[in-house]
A and B are shown apart, each in its own frame.
Chain A
Amino acid sequence: MSLDAPPKAIAGPSSFIDDRIGAGNFLKRNLRKVFPDHWSFLLGEIALYSFVILLLTGTFLTFFYKPGMGEVAYQGSYPPLVGVHMSEAYASTLHITFDVRGGLLIRQIHHWAALLFVAGMMVHMLRVFFTGAYRKPRELNWLIGVLLLTLALLEGLTGYSLPDDLLSGAGLRITQGVAISIPVVGTYISFFLFGGEYPGHDVISRFYSLHILLIPGILLALISAHLILMWVQKHTQMPGKGRTDTNVVGAPFYPSFMAKSGAYFLFTFGVLALLGTVAQINPIWLFGPYTPADISAGSQPDFYMGFLEGALRIMPAWEINFLGYTLPLSVLIPALVPMGIIMTGLALYPFAEQWITGDKREHHLADRPRNNPHRTSIGMAAITFYGVLWLLGANDWISAKFHIPLYTTTEIGRVAIFLGPALAYFVTYRLCIALQRRDADVVSHGVESGVIKRLPSGEYIEVHVPPAEDLVEHMRGKQPIPAITAGPDGEGIPSNGMRSPIGRVRAKLSQTYAADTEAISLDGHGNGHGAHETPPAAVGAGEDGQKSIGH
């Protein structure tokens, strides 16, 4: 049975709204808006839905949580802590956990959702980076994304501190130790943040208003802007059959994409609910109330803070005293430099790439990571840099579990933080080139069929068959990386801009960045494969076929 006219329940309100705001024109354009399909395009949605779940569960938690540092004696239903003096914040978190039905569940979902929110953003960002989806016209959305990631870290930090248990207090203590190390204004920042000396009586309520009002408000606004821009600019698509830089191929928003997104939200929520049920997270009742005099060994922050923790751990003890002032480099450098390198690098990359390649065109076709080897290598080097710091943030656990002396892990980290990224860069670059060559091989010679053929001359060859059409189209989506040249064609006289030292560096960078892309050609070379049943098999004898590979 199919519908011949919209049902009254929908037609009525629709007309009512259209009469008043003219929504019809918008819907006409957008109801069947096409969304390209690729599994990696759904990573950002994980973050989006986690955020929605964070708002829902967070609101529930605020109904019971008391952001106060006033001292109370615990009288709830967790026997080991009855009578213990603690802050209202910690007592109310215990109350949520043990005396509110579903309280523990919602708390654990909230914490897991926070982890998934940041993890989703990170993976989504890597996808956008490696496919070059940040390129014009999407630089603004990329910048919004970088801002979102930074704010999410801050949101996580402020939320993590709210239960005011011994573990979260250790995180707060480190935060204060970092804040106070900032030159000139550090002590003032610390005193203003904490309302005086650490820990004071204000920081929980201050973090609370930051955590539930200010930062989520900004996040919400930026996420909305992020989605609107994505909608207006249309999503990028993977290269493939019929897909170009001027079209978008995929499924319509209504009904298919809408239903899939709804299901995806429910999946995200369902997985988080499952984690909240079976995977204990932050069991604050085991840690006890915060006191600056105590700590437990093996303390770990949430995963997204691990890289800062690792940076603090591998830093040598550098501190400079001059003219009666102190520059605590052993805190400043690890607290600011890695974060600065990563966030600034992310924010500037689209513009740096544009400057280097001189490419001012719009791009809507995503790159396959292998087809831009330098970008991919830079990305992998950055991941390695982050990853080494992150691992070192748990070096005490690594030391304990793998029986490596503690100081050895630190010393390895001090070397790996420099060697690791360089090595990752080199290996990734070679892998990208190798994968490109393989693509060229598949496109020009087909894929192995498993059939061995004996030639009249007695030589054995394996018969290659043409690869599947969609595979070839996907590979042929490779676009050469543009490069600026040092001089205008013809006369050989470089332009003024290119003759300056910066211009020469730029030209050099540009040549390097684009190197190897022209060399591996995916244009067929007259073998006429595809039409033939058995295209010329090149294994064994086929060096002649590889006219353009390598150099």
Chain B
Amino acid sequence: MTENPNDPGLPEERVPRRVLGTPPPGNGSALGAPVADAEPIVHEGVQFPDPATARKGERAAALLFLVAFLAGVGFVAAYVIFQVGSIDKVATSNMALGGTLAVALLALAAGIVVWVRMMMPKYSLVQERHTMASPPAVREEIGATFLQGANESGFVKYKLLRRTLLLAAAPLGLLPLVLLKDLGPLPGTTLRHTVWKKGMRLIVEGTGEPIRAADFNSPGGILSIVPEGHEDDLNALAKATLILIKFRPEDIKPGTKLNWTHDSIVAYSKICTHVGCPAALYEQTTHHILCPCHQSTFDAADGAKVIFGPAARPLPQLPISVDSQGYLIAQSDFAVPVGPSFWERGDAEAEARARGQA
């Protein structure tokens, strides 16, 4: 688009658009007359391969194209023959479909490469570049045209028009943002609460059954706990999931709030205080809880305080006790927001202490 096609003397002009190739010897014309002895037309920068190479290339390319054809047909056959509906069938079908497709594509590609490399000429064509900038005269003319148009339109002269036009455009630009408001509710205080409340039973994840304190009696044991009535409620689980750990009484360190435990059973939020992954790994001998995402490590025996990693706060502890039937229940909701930190969170731990909840 930048070249001037009428510019005489460009090197590419030496190359006619219609390139007449060297006919490979042995290939008869339509009339059967050999054309091999015709004088090849030579173009600068275009170097044809020798006929023997080209012939060899043709055979190789043709073979590859045939393979591609067969593989392409094979793909259709594989689609018809191999059904899906079980893991083994899917594996077979995938192998057959993918294998034939890959062979078809790769053989076709290889054939074309052979064609280009062995049968097409080697090129060393030269084209001139031209500076991208327009000539100064053109720029001047454009500048003048711009001014002429601007003045003709009256946009500069009529102040009231200009200002009201800009004024009219401003709210329209904001409308898309306004429209997006209903994407979601405002956060409010929802992040500060979970579904846990006084008397709600602890349900063992996966079983749907509540658990008696007496049944959870092997020290070092750990359970994943969900709130009763919310076993399939992902929004609730994203904040309320717990890990429940049974300690030997002598292992518990002062960081753990003892009056929130029951019979050396401690419940912590499972949601990591870093970016919210479930902190699911537990090392029995060291009492370390490890979040597999970014390796924040918490000491479960010591109020889940941070030992290592990017999490800045301990996993909040949930106050638990037992109901009249001996089932583990929550005493209340968490005293502080669970999960990742956010701007409005503030030092919720200090506030909780001030409220006397800690």
Interface residues of A (CB under 8 A from B): 1-3, 25-26, 28-34, 71, 77-78, 85, 97-105, 108, 137, 170, 173-174, 176-178, 180-188, 190-200, 202, 231-234, 242, 245-252, 255-256, 259-260, 262-267, 269-271, 273-274, 276-278, 290-299, 309, 312-319, 321, 324-328, 330-331, 334, 362, 364, 395-396, 406-407, 410
Contacts and interface: CB of A to CB of B under 8 A. Distances in A.
A248 B226 CA distance: 68
B129 A321 contact: no
B347 to A, nearest CB: 4
A273 B101 contact: yes
B103 to A, nearest CB: 8
A396 B21 CA distance: 61
B336 to A, nearest CB: 12
A269 B105 contact: yes
B163 interface: no
B342 A186 contact: yes
A497 B346 CA distance: 48
Contacts of B104: 270
5 contacts: A29-B1, A34-B125, A173-B275, A193-B183, A326-B345
A137 B234 contact: no
B309 interface: yes
Given A101-B79, A293-B226, A174 B275 contact: yes
B105 A186 contact: no
B184 A196 contact: yes
Contact of B293 (A1, A266, A295, A362): A295
A256 B238 CA distance: 58
Given A34-B125, A173-B275, A294-B224, A259 B342 contact: no
B309 A191 contact: no
Most chain-A Cβ atoms within 10 A of its Cβ — which of B12, B90, B205, B224? B90
Contacts of A199: 234-235, 238
A512 to B, nearest CB: 30
A511 B281 CA distance: 55
B346 A325 contact: yes
A276 B123 CA distance: 36
Query: 4 closest pairs, A vs B, by CB?
Result: A177-B275, A277-B98, A270-B105, A319-B312
Nearest to B107: A270
A259 B57 CA distance: 15
Contacts of A192: 180, 183-184
Contacts of B356: none
Contact of A321 (B115, B121, B292, B346): B346
Given A173-B277, A197-B190, A247 B90 contact: no
B310 A316 contact: yes
B39 to A, nearest CB: 13
B132 A180 contact: no
B102 interface: yes
Contacts of B30: 1
A392 to B, nearest CB: 10
Nearest to A195: B184
Given A101-B79, A181-B340, A326-B342, A263 B112 contact: yes
B128 A246 contact: yes
Given A174-B277, A295-B292, 6 more contacts: A33-B127, A249-B125, A263-B113, A273-B105, A293-B224, A330-B274
Contacts of B113: 260, 263
A391 B345 CA distance: 33
Nearest to B45: A249
Most chain-A Cβ atoms within 10 A of its Cβ — which of B12, B104, B281, B343? B343
Contact of A330 (B102, B280, B311, B344): B311
Interface string B155-199: 000000000000000000000000010011111001100000000
B224 A247 contact: no
Contacts of A182: 343
A104 B341 contact: no
Interface string B238-256: 1101000000000000000
B109 interface: yes
B84 interface: yes
B131 to A, nearest CB: 6
Nearest to B115: A259
A138 B128 CA distance: 17
Nearest to B272: A177
B87 A98 contact: yes
B309 A317 contact: yes
Nearest to B79: A101
Most chain-A Cβ atoms within 10 A of its Cβ — which of B28, B106, B238? B238
Given A198-B235, A269-B105, A98 B86 contact: yes
A271 B11 CA distance: 39
B144 interface: no
B57 to A, nearest CB: 13
Nearest to B351: A324
Given A98-B87, A232-B2, A270-B105, A32 B312 contact: no
Interface string B12-35: 100101101101000111100001
Nearest to A234: B129
B319 to A, nearest CB: 20
B223 to A, nearest CB: 12
A273 B186 CA distance: 46
Interface string B127-150: 111011000000000000000000
B83 interface: yes
